Amino acid sequence: MKLFGSLLFFLLLITACTVGPDYQRPETPASGMAAFYSVPDDMRQVISREEFSRWWQQINDPWLDNAVDHLLADNLQLKEAAARIQQAWAQLGIARGSKLPALSVSSSALRGFQGIDSGISGFGAPGAGAEQPLDGTGAAGTASFQGNENERIYFTQLEAGLSTSWQVDLFGGLERSSTAARLQYMASLANAEALVHSLISELARRRISLAALQQRLDLAQETAENRKLTLNVVERRYRRGVTGTSATDVYLARENLAAVTSRIPDLQSRIRKQLHLLDVLLGRSPGTTSAQKIRLPKLQPPGTVPPGLPAQLIDRRPDLRANEFRLAASVEQVGAAVADLYPDLTLTGAIGLRDDGLSTFFDTANLFGTIVADIMVKLFQGGRLRANIDLQEAEARELAADYAGNVLTALEEVETALSNGRYLGDQLDHLEDRLENTRRAAQQVMEKYSSGLVPLLDVLVAERRRFGAAQEYVLIAQAAWNNRIALYLALGGDWLGKQPELAPVRLPQQTKE
C-alpha cells in the first residue's frame, strides 16, 4: 500500500510536465517596417483608439448613424456569428471538462427468491444456483421453479454508491487541448468583430453609393430641364426662319435632350436596388427603406487619418488577430499530439453502502470502496500517433504561412488606401475647377447662340462637357469616400469603442484559466 501511494504521489507531481512546442509570434513583413511608405512625414505617429471611434459620423448623415445601431441588432450574418461564438464557447467547456474528474451516483434495489428443495434460485438471488443459467437451457431468463410457495425464501438487497474517474494529465495533452479550444473561442470573437467592421463599411458604402446615385439623378433631371430650354430656343428660331438654323439643329437638340433623359430610368432603377441591398443588410424586407437625399461632403486630405505603425496592424485588425489565434491553437494541437505518445494514467474509485434492509443500511459495517490506478502504455499503433503529429505540424506551418500572407496583404491595403487617397484628393481639386469652368463656358455659349454669334454645335458641346464634368466629379467623390472607408477598414480601427454585442445572443465573457 505504501508503494502504491508513493507511486501515485509521484505521478501526480509530474502532471505539470507539458510536452510539445510553445507558441511564439512569427516574424512578419510588418516587423521590420518603421512606417508606411505612403503616409506623409508629418503623420508618422502612434495612433490612438479614439481617432477611429464611430468614424462613419464624418459622413454627417443621421440616417446612417441610426442604421448602424439597427445593423448590429438585426443583421442575420451577425446572428450567425453569435451562434458560432456560442459553439466555440461550448467546445471550450467540453475541453475544460475533460481535465476534471467525472463523478456519478448510482443506486439499486433488488428483490429475489430462492427455492429450498430444488436448489434453483430466483433472478439475482445468492446461492449455488445463482451462477447457472436461470432457465435451465443455457440462457439467462426467468427461473424454472419446482415447489410450492412455502419452499421459497425471499430476500432484498439495497445498494447505493458514489463513483469517480479521472484521467490524470501527466504530459499536458488535456491542458493543450483546453488551451487550443480557448484560442479557437477567442478567434471566433475576433472573427465576429471583423464581421462587424466589414458590415459597417458595407453599409456605409451602400449609403454613399445611394447618395451618389441620387446626386447623379438630380444632375440628370436638372440637365434635362436645361436642355428642354435649349430645344425650345432652337425650335423657336427654326420656326422664325432665323439664318443658320435648320431642321438638323432641331434634331440635334432633341437628341441632346434624349441622351440625358434616357439616363433617368436607369438611375432610378439603381437607386431602388441600393435601397433593397440596404434593407437586406439591416435584416428587413426589401422595399422597407425609402430614399433619403443626402449630399456627399467634400473630403479632407487623407493625412487626417494617422495610420500608426505597421506592426500595430497585427493587434488592431481583428481578422489578423483571428488568424493568429488559430495559428496558436494549431501549435497547442501539436503539443496535444505529442503528449498522446506518452502513457495515460486513469484513476477510478468507488464508495458505497450495501445491505438487505433500510433499518441497518447506513451502518459503517455496510460500507465498501475501491481505488484503481490504470496505466496504459501505447506500444504499437501502426504509425497513427506519429502521423497525427506530422499532420498537426503541417497544419501549423500552413496557418503560419497564411498568417504571414494576410499580414502582407494588410500592409498592401493600407499603402494602397493611403496613396489612392492622396491622388483622389488632388483629382477632386482639379475636377472642381473643371466643373466651374464648364458651367461658365456653357452659360456664355448659350448667350452667344441666342444672339446668333455661334452655331448650335458649340452649345451642344458645352452642355455635354458640363454634364460630363459634373458626372465625373460625383463618381470621383464617391471613389474618394469609398477609399476612405477602405483605409479605416485596412487599419482595423476601433469602430465602436467597445466589444460589439451581437443581439439577440449574448456573447459569453472571456474567463482566464
Tell me whether residue 440 is in a domain. yes
What is the rounded distance in angstroms from the CA atom of residue 275 to the CA atom of residue 263?
A: 19
Least confident of 41-55, 177-191, 350-364, 428-442: 41-55
pLDDT band at 259 (very low <50, low <70, confident <90, very high): very high
Tell me whether residue 56 is in a domain. yes
Tell me whether residue 138 is in a domain. no
pLDDT band at 314 (very low <50, low <70, confident <90, very high): confident
Instruction: For residue range 450-481, list pLDDT tens digits in order.
Output: 888 888 899 999 999 999 999 999 999 899 98
Q: Is the model's pLDDT at 308 over the cut of 70?
A: no
Tell me whether residue 120 is in a domain. no
Q: Which residues pair with 512 in a beta bridge?
A: none
What is the rounded distance in angstroms from the CA atom of residue 177 to the CA atom of residue 231?
A: 79
- Predicted pLDDT of residue 366: 81
What is the rounded distance in angstroms from the CA atom of residue 502 to the CA atom of residue 496?
A: 12
Tell me whether residue 420 is in a domain. yes
The gap from C-alpha 34 to its chain's centroid, in whole angstroms, comes to: 30
DSSP E strand boundaries for 127-283: 152-168
SS3 (DSSP) at 304: helix
Tell me whether residue 390 is in a domain. yes
Least confident of 193-197, 212-216, 482-486, 493-497: 493-497
Mean pLDDT (the chain) is 79
Domain that holds residue 439: 2-100+171-491
pLDDT band at 340 (very low <50, low <70, confident <90, very high): confident
- Model's pTM, two decimal places? 0.76
- Predicted pLDDT of residue 461: 92
Number of structural domains, the chain? 1
CATH number of 242's domain: 1.20.1600.10
Residue 50 DSSP class: G
- Predicted pLDDT of residue 20: 77
φ and ψ at residue 30, rounded to 5 degrees: -75, -20
Least confident of 34-48, 68-82, 301-315, 335-349: 34-48
Beta carbons within 8 Å of 102's beta carbon, 6+ residues apart: 164, 165, 166
Q: Is the model's pLDDT at 46 over the cut of 50?
A: no
Beta carbons within 8 Å of 286's beta carbon, 6+ residues apart: 275, 276, 279, 280
* Largest pairwise CA distance in the chain: 142
What is the rounded distance in angstroms from the CA atom of residue 148 to the CA atom of residue 134?
A: 18
Tell me whether residue 513 is in a domain. no
What is the rounded distance in angstroms from the CA atom of residue 237 to the CA atom of residue 243?
A: 9
CB 61 within 8 A of CB 278: no
Instruction: For residue range 402-428, list pLDDT tens digits in order.
Output: 998 998 898 888 888 888 888 888 899
Q: Is the model's pLDDT at 398 over the cut of 90?
A: yes
What is the rounded distance in angstroms from the CA atom of residue 185 to the CA atom of residue 179?
A: 10
What is the rounded distance in angstroms from the CA atom of residue 22 to the CA atom of residue 309?
A: 27
Gap between the terminal Cα atoms of the chain: 35
Residue given cell 474517474 in the structure block:
165
Tell me whether residue 381 is in a domain. yes
